[in-house]
Chain A
Amino acid sequence: MEFLIAAQGESKFITHASRDTSSFSSSFVVHFSEVKEGKNTMASATPVGFATYSDPNDRRTRLAELGLAAEMLVQAVQRGHSAWANCTLNHPRLFPGISAWAEAVNALRELLIPLGWNRSDEGNLPFTVNEAGNVALCVSTGDEATGRVDESPCTKSSKGPRTANAVAVNQRQLTLFGDIRLQPEDLANVNGRMTWLLLMHRDLRAREVRCELSRPVNMNEDGRVDGWAERIILPVTPIDGDTVEIPDSEISQTPNIVVNVTRRA
């Protein structure tokens, strides 16, 4: 059961965040209270989503700076969706979501480890970290706004202390560097890293799976991540949605055949 909690929510004990920061580089230790303050100040000063990249060229450039490409991120999300789609009503109710998430993490690592990235399981939170150690990726389910340029997404579930720390670190970077488009190299000198969330959302009504790679800088009081310094909107995967049977009328088949058999005289 420990796994289930960790996978979807990490647990909701946000107030314990400050106790669990030892694994992070000391210059970026931020207590949860600061995160909350951060939210308040940010909310008044700036709209959520400082920079959103949806144009394919902008997207490609920004992802390349992080050592990534849209195709691999989308593939990881699609593999997650594929695992989800394979579950039936007989699976435990929590399983399809977990299995999508787990497979997306696995796929992301399978694609990135050959490129020099590393697996880093911190507590129960699975990070995939680049070779230099200054970019970390995490997979999470997002709400309906995921992948939509004009809306601001929020993670679907509350996150635990590890995520809270990562968000806090990201947020501190904002004030330290002042530049939205933070480059991984900028962090090399201060022994820090930025964390990005690969958000995915399965929209059965719109019949598509949307995803984005975004840099979180705020967590709301429920422990859900809802503020972003950057959002890289990724290509949409159209799906067929529900398992609706194909009506016979839509199948073009050969007509019924009558084979003639004639008695010889």
Chain B
Amino acid sequence: MFNPNRLSLARRRKGLTKSGLATQIGVDLRSVSAYESGEYPPSEDTLHKIHSVLNFPIDFFFGDDLEQPRPDVASFRALSKMKASQRDMALGQGAIALHLNQWLEKRFELPQSQLPDLSRERSPEAAADSLRRYWGIGELAIRNMIHLLEAKGVRVFSLAIDAREVDAFSMWKDTTPFIFLNSNKSSEHSRFDAAHELGHLVLHRHAAPQGREAEKEADMFASAFLMPRSSVIANAPRFSTLPDLIRTKRIWITSVAALNYRLHSVGMISDWHYRTLCIQIAKNGRANEPNEAPRETSQILPKIFAALYREGVTRSDVARALAVPQSELEQLMFGLALAGIDGGRPQTRHASSARLTLIQK
């Protein structure tokens, strides 16, 4: 049976309005509204047009309802600067990620959440400190944020949205935390986003994660989590100049701007010093991160897909099973080029091992 919710999801995922879709498939707005409200389904001819415009397989529109992250559950950075269509595209990717995750969790045992509720800590800085102690990482700089998050039970996916306004968002789905990161940002920016979202997950699990205050708290959490106080004081330049910051930032793998902020907040540099550096950083262009670190990617996803591949299951098989375009899956996976997985059907080396059977709806 045609599922109106899935049409709505696919349309929003592509950043289209109802009237935009109506024009492209050659029907009136009234009809699209009717398809999406369940009043009546599109004709077979129209359905094919929908398929070719939205680039989702026909099967996709006949599945069960998909879990969709709602705007009030997900916490967005820079929400105020985002357009509704950008937010919907991001949420649409989130829905596909939840769909994929459900499929994967049926087949693989993934780390359980080890995120405590830190909403009662006296400050975001104290919360960051508690979490570091709870995870036993003390004052160590974090080598890889995504791997750490994955090990602690967070499902991390990438958002492929070519909009600077969309940084990241996070949400709880029952007891599983999710973080979505825009992969078009610098590595340093993305690590800060990941820590910011982690802040929302531990600080605002039971409260509205939106609003300026919550964003500020998440920023303070991220700053303290990535750059713990004692470590910053121990490693801070004697007198911080911009080249010193560029040189020192690789300890914590943060942007020069974030390090400057942190040096100021721990009292290593004075107000005027902080402002002077802000001006110098701005002059060099905040978007161009000097000495950018290598990008971080998921560790879980390649492992899963490698395991599936050994069983003879390719990524396109998974896409077919989920009835989503393969490109949608790839966009969630940090553009990881997984050797051989995209290619033709592999030879199963262990002929005796049970093959996965994928059932299409």
Contact = CB atoms under 8 A, between A and B. Distances in A.
Specify whether A and B are partners: yes
Interface of A: 75, 78-79, 81-82, 85-86, 207, 209, 237-240, 243-246, 251-264
30 contacts: A75-B272, A81-B241, A82-B277, A85-B243, A238-B238, A239-B241, A240-B247, A243-B244, A243-B247, A245-B247, A251-B141, A251-B250, A252-B141, A254-B140, A254-B142, A256-B143, A256-B144, A257-B148, A257-B150, A257-B151, A259-B151, A259-B299, A259-B300, A259-B303, A260-B111, A261-B109, A263-B107, A263-B109, A263-B307, A264-B107
B259 to A, nearest CB: 13
Contacts of B243: 85-86, 243
Given A243-B243, A243-B247, A82 B108 contact: no
B143 A79 contact: no
Interface residues of chain B: helix, strand, loop or mixed (majority): helix
B23 interface: no
B303 to A, nearest CB: 5
Contacts of A258: 151, 299
Interface of B: 106-111, 137, 139-144, 147-148, 150-151, 231, 237-239, 241-244, 247-248, 250-251, 270, 272-273, 276-277, 280, 299-300, 303-304, 307
A260 B307 CA distance: 12
B107 A85 contact: no
Contacts of A81: 239, 241
Nearest to A237: B239
A240 B240 CA distance: 8
Nearest to A241: B238
A85 B238 contact: no
A257 B239 CA distance: 34
Given A78-B273, A246-B247, A253-B142, A240 B239 contact: yes
Given A239-B238, A261-B307, A264-B106, 17 more contacts: A78-B239, A86-B243, A86-B280, A207-B238, A238-B239, A240-B244, A251-B141, A252-B231, A253-B140, A253-B143, A254-B143, A254-B148, A256-B147, A260-B111, A261-B300, A263-B108, A263-B109
A254 B137 contact: yes
Contacts of A261: 108-110, 300, 303-304, 307
B143 A255 contact: yes
A105 to B, nearest CB: 15
Contacts, number: 102
The secondary structure that dominates the A interface is loop
Contacts of B151: 257-259
A259 B149 CA distance: 10
Nearest to B249: A246
A253 B140 CA distance: 5
A85 B108 contact: no
A255 B141 CA distance: 10
Contacts of B147: 256-257, 259
Contacts of B247: 240, 243-246
A251 B231 CA distance: 10
A2 to B, nearest CB: 26
Contacts of B108: 261-264
A85 to B, nearest CB: 3
A85 B273 CA distance: 13
B138 to A, nearest CB: 9
Nearest to A261: B303
Contacts of A82: 241-242, 273, 276-277, 280
A259 B238 contact: no
B139 A252 contact: yes
A227 B107 CA distance: 84
Contacts of A240: 237-239, 244, 247
B304 to A, nearest CB: 6
A239 to B, nearest CB: 5
B119 to A, nearest CB: 25
B242 A86 contact: yes
Nearest to A260: B111
Nearest to B248: A246
Contacts of B307: 261, 263
In the A-B complex, list the 5 residue pairs whose CB atoms are closest, starting with the nearest. Answer: A85-B241, A238-B238, A262-B109, A257-B147, A253-B143
A239 B239 contact: yes
A85 B272 CA distance: 16
Contacts of B273: 78, 82
Contacts of A79: 272, 276
A86 B241 contact: yes
B141 A85 contact: no
Contacts of A256: 143-144, 147
Contacts of A254: 137, 140-144, 148
Contacts of B280: 82, 86
A163 B270 CA distance: 34
